[in-house]
Structure 1
Amino acid sequence: MEYEYLKETRRWLHQHPELSMQEFETTAFIKNELDALDIPYDTPLPTGVIGYLKGTTEQAVAFRADIDALPIHEENDVDYRSSVDHVMHACGHDGHTTILLAFAKRVKALYDAGKLTATVYFIFQPSEETEAGANQLLNAYSFKLKPDYIFGLHMMPNNEEGLVLSKPGPITASATEYRFFIKGLSAHVANKEQGHSAGEALSFILSQISQLQHYHLPGLRQNIVHIGQFHAGEAINTVPSNGYLEGTIRTYAADDLATVKEQMLKIAEACSVVTGTAVEVKFSEGYPSTSNDTDAYQLMKQASEETSLEWIEKEEPYLFGEDFAFYSQVAPTAFAFLGCRNAEQQFVTGLHTSTLNFDEHVLLGGVDLFSAILARFEATL
């Protein structure tokens, strides 16, 4: 019965993907499911839902699922493929939402039997992929009873079914965008010395950014200073008067991010002096590094031993961003990844690909893990 619910729920969600902050149909679906269970909820944002069941003590624990999809056109040839062109659940959020809904059903059964001691929050969060939905949600919502811990789980097609992966401390990187804006002075190529070339400035900036990791960041730490796109110039026979460069910064340590940003400001200043152009650099603050609290991590790891899942402690964190990081501002957090790779069924492509897919049986492991966490958490009361 539970597997059929997981299968039907996940496939409906997969067929009806919605982009960040546009998850109105998804939100209505979640509300209907919670209404059917008689679980109360709050809606602090236009999309997303926070359900809750009050326990008999002053303890509380929260579980989070993200609900948005990506602007990717699905290429899977399945009867439950996305019904929306160029929108797809390509990051497993349909799985996350399904796990949390099935878990809510289990918790409601405990509540109805008078066995729920800790208050449980079910956070269905919008806009993980863009606009830091977690941060927006927390800015708009005050928990009636502050959670002692907040837990999250993410599908991971790089690892086999039956595995759950995490590590203490940093588990995902911070993600910050940067943009250089260059304003030069145009001139005809015959009188090029009368201009100030944005092309020369762009070349200078590219050279300096490529040296940041080597000369200014600790060699034993993982960091990425990525150049995404750049361009300069207007015509074949004129000095380029405008230039642009953008990219992303991925770090685990706040001081490394501060170093990169400081050096980029210096690069912009030096470039202006050397090339005579006006150079401005702007940063778009993204997601902080997600870091697992020691106690929360151990609780989650020990809970996994009560399930059929095999816990794998990673040596290195992932270098992608994840806005679950913001929940650590509220309570100690732990975040893990649920393996869903299945070569026999050809479910082998990665996150954010047009062919991501998985067998819904793996979602049972996620529900079991959340249930084991709750059972272990209540045992500590």
Structure 2
Amino acid sequence: MSALTVPESQLAAPAHGPAVARPETPVAAQPLPGGLDQWLAERHGELIAVRRHLHAHPELSHQEFETTALVAGELRVAGLTPRLLPSGNGVICDIGEGGPVVALRADMDALPIDDPKEVEYRSTVPGVAHACGHDVHTAILLGAGQALARLADAGALPGRVRLVFQPAEEASPSGAPQMIAAGALTDVAAIFGLHCAPRLPTGTVAVRTGPLTAATDIVSVNVSGPGGHTARPHLTVDLVHALSRLVVDVPALLDRRLDPRARVSLVFGSIAAGQAPNAIPATGHARGTVRVLGREAWREAPELITQLMQEVAAATGATASVDYVRGVPPVVNDARATELIAEAARLALGPDEVTEAELSMGGEDFGFYLEQVPGSMIRLGTGIADAAPMDIHQAGFDVDERAINHGVRVMVHTALASLARFTD
């Protein structure tokens, strides 16, 4: 594969830390074709090394140039022909020929978070860390691509699989529209992805039909008035009062103006106005996030929230200026695609290792792809046994690295099942 390897001496029993857990094929799993299970077991250390290299050298959104170079190099070693985005920080790579075309996606960017872990692969970049598992996603897609390339070389790939290594999932604007504009979805019948789930046991996955994650937007409101003395609020506009009404009343009014099944959440994280206790300020502002599970409600949200903010502000005498910034759409999994990836996961891990995923109000720009083609995203269990519960976007985030092989198996089974379905 590459010069990135983990010595055999580090292959040990499953553990949290620098030692690499030996790979294991779940007892109830169905074997991969073409001897890929043995091939995958032999390359376990190499995939771990790729993940650890990425973890130690994280790159922020829109800056994933070294990560892109590594991914492209590994794909070329496998005999593939990767295509870099014009920006140089994303990769599209087809495996096989003809149709149908099925896409598999991984994101590559890290977060502006410190990494306090005491492990050999701790981040070497101050204030930047792979605290969301995108290094794991990238290693999994590389492994799946290399396995599928072996099948293609043997003439055993009934169609074409497109690998989509995406930058800037954590940013706004995010990288999914950039990938789509570069042709990531051209001729694609379906797209699939996975995301690390540290609260799920390693060796399991969770799937869900319909909404999985919420649309996520940012709204900012600036209020203004003449300002004045707190002893005479009746002679001016009390902007602190106006802001308090906005942050309390607008979320409550939304609950009455949108279908409650859409699960709309408006939460403010920043509010500021004035400095002196005896002076009513002339300006103030508040910023928050809007999260929506329903596509239709998401489309209605900007106009409605802007209207409500202006109406509430006007009732206090203040003037409100609203800036509504679109983030990402909701991830709404297609029913047939979810059924397909769930069955593939049962084949890959065993029938008892697939559970139902919980709804999340977090954002994920995989939703952009699902607005164009059917597809599904699943949760991959990466929980470390006997360790304290962990969450994504948390300093010190880490995974049980056996999950990488599990993820490869799920993605390969998914690609083959998808090609077979669309060929029928």
Identity of aligned residues (%): 33
CA–CA distance in structure 1, aligned partners of residues 298 and 186 of structure 2? 34
Of the candidates 215, 224, 227, which is equivalent to residue 174 of structure 1? 215
Q: 1:231, CA displacement in angstroms?
A: 0.9
User: Cα distance, 1:15 vs. partner?
Assistant: 0.2
Q: Report the residue type matching 1:227 in the other structure.
A: F
Matched, 1:133 2:175: yes
The residue number in structure 1 matching 2:92 is 50
User: Which residue number corresponds to residue 109 of structure 1?
Assistant: 150
CA distance in 2 between counterparts of 1:98 and 1:148 reads: 24
Alignment of 1:200-239 (within 5 A): 200-239=241-280
User: 1:189: Cα distance to partner?
Assistant: 4.0
Q: TM-score scaled by structure 1?
A: 0.93
Aligned match of 2:377? 335
CA pair 295-214 structure 1, distance change in 2 beyond 3 A: closer
After superposition, residues 248-259 of structure 1 pair within 5 angstroms as 248-258=289-299
Give the TM-score normalised by the residue count of structure 2.
0.84
**Partner of 2:347: helix, strand, or coil?**
coil
Amino acid at match of 2:381: G
For 1:267 and 1:123, locate their aligned partners in 2 and report how far apart those are by CA, in whole Å: 40
Deviates more, 1:107-116 or 1:279-288: 107-116
Q: Distance in 1 between matches of 2:143 and 2:289?
A: 36
Structure 1 residues 143-158: aligned runs within 5 Å: 143=184, 146-158=187-199
Letter in 2 for 1:216: R
2:110/2:131 contact within 8 Å kept: yes
1:242 is displaced (CA, Å) by 1.0
The corresponding residue for 2:31 is none
- Displacement of 1:210 after TM fit? 3.9
CA shift in 2, pair 1:323/1:374, >3 Å? same
State the Cα deviation string for residues 194-235 of structure 1 (Å, max 9, x = none): 432321221221231241354334445533211111011143
Distance 1:249 1:272, change over 3 A: closer
Distance in 2 separating the partners of 1:242 and 1:145 = 49
Output the amino acid matched with 1:341: G
Which residue identity is paired with 2:203? G
* Letter of the structure 2 residue corresponding to residue 76 of structure 1: K
Are residues 1:164 and 2:205 paired? yes
5+ residue gaps, structure 1, are none
1:370 maps to which residue? 411
Q: Do 2:103 and 2:185's aligned partners in 1 also have CA atoms closer than 8 Å?
A: no
Kept in 1, the 8 Å contact 2:202–2:402? The answer is no
State the number of aligned residues: 377
Q: 2:324 aligns with which of 283, 307, 311?
A: 283
**Whole-angstrom distance in 1 between the partners of 2:185 and 2:104:** 15
Structure 2: 5+ residue runs without aligned partners?
1-41
Letter paired with 2:192:
F
- The reply on whether 1:313 has 2:356 as its aligned counterpart is yes
**Following TM superposition, by how much is the alpha carbon of 1:362 offset from its aligned partner in structure 2, in angstroms?**
1.0
Give secondary structure in 1 for the equivalent of 2:323: strand
CA distance in 2, matches of 1:157, 1:361: 13
Partner Cα distance (1:96, 1:305) in 2: 20
Q: Give per-residue Cα distances to partners, 1:18-38, cap 9 Å, x unaligned.
A: 000011111111111112122
Cα distance in structure 2, aligned partners of 1:379 and 1:196: 67
Secondary structure of 2:213's counterpart equals coil
Aligned-residue CA RMSD (Å): 1.9
Output the CA distance in 1 between the equivalents of 2:183 and 2:94: 13
CA contact (8 A) 1:198 1:243 kept: yes
Name the SS of the counterpart of 1:171 in structure 2: strand
| In structure 2, C-alpha distance between the alignment counterparts of 1:162 and 1:207, rounded to whole Å | 43
Which residue pairs with 1:22 in the alignment? Answer: 63
Partner Cα separation in structure 1 for residue 362 and residue 186 of structure 2: 32
In the TM superposition, structure 1's runs of 4+ consecutive aligned residues that sit over 6 Å from their partners are none
Task: Please name the residue that 1:39 is paired with.
Answer: 80
Query: Residue 393 of structure 2 aligns to a residue in which SS?
Result: coil
Change (3 A) 1:79 1:199: same
Whether the 8 Å contact between 2:251 and 2:265 is mirrored in structure 1 is no
